[in-house]
Amino acid sequence: MLEDDSFQQRVYQIVAAIPYGHVTTYGEIARLAGSPRAARQVGGVLRRLPAGSKLPWHRVINRKGSISLPGDNLKRQRDALAAEGIEVSDEGRVSLSRYRCQW
């Protein structure tokens, strides 16, 4: 487990590397993880993420720059992004050209 090079572990590390005040897309994370077509699995990992995780999962959004979370979770992420100085629309949409991390 310590040196687990599974996809889940990689996504975990990549998301943890997202700088404050910046966001990234699932596809980008998937590509950095080594599977450009595994964007869904990135979301799948975050979906299984425990509530007490230190991961800034709220900095991960879809290609359209919107939050894909349903219901209350979406509101939670929107609040978390706003707390980092990121302006989010009522629909949970963010300006990718402005906040997207360029690595």
Partner DNA sequence: TGAATGACAAATT
Partner DNA sequence: TAATTTGCCATTC
For residue 95, count other CB atoms closer than 10 A to its CB. Answer: 13
75 is an interface residue for DNA by CB under 7 A: no
Radius of gyration of the chain (CA): 13
d(C-alpha 40, C-alpha 23), whole Å: 17
Query: How many residues contact DNA, by CB under 7 A?
Result: 34
Q: Which of 23, 77, 88, 99 binds DNA (CB under 7 A)?
A: 77
Report CA-CA distances (Å) from 94 to 7, 37, 52, 63, 74. Answer: 27, 23, 25, 11, 13
Positions 7 through 66 that interact with DNA (CB under 7 A): 7-8, 25-28, 30, 35, 37-49, 57-58, 60, 62-64
Instruction: State both tokens at 91.
Output: 């629909």
99 binds DNA (CB under 7 A): no
Q: Which is nearer to DNA, 32 or 41 (CB)?
A: 41
Chain contacts with DNA (rule: CB under 7 A): 6-8, 25-28, 30, 35, 37-49, 57-58, 60, 62-64, 67-70, 73, 77
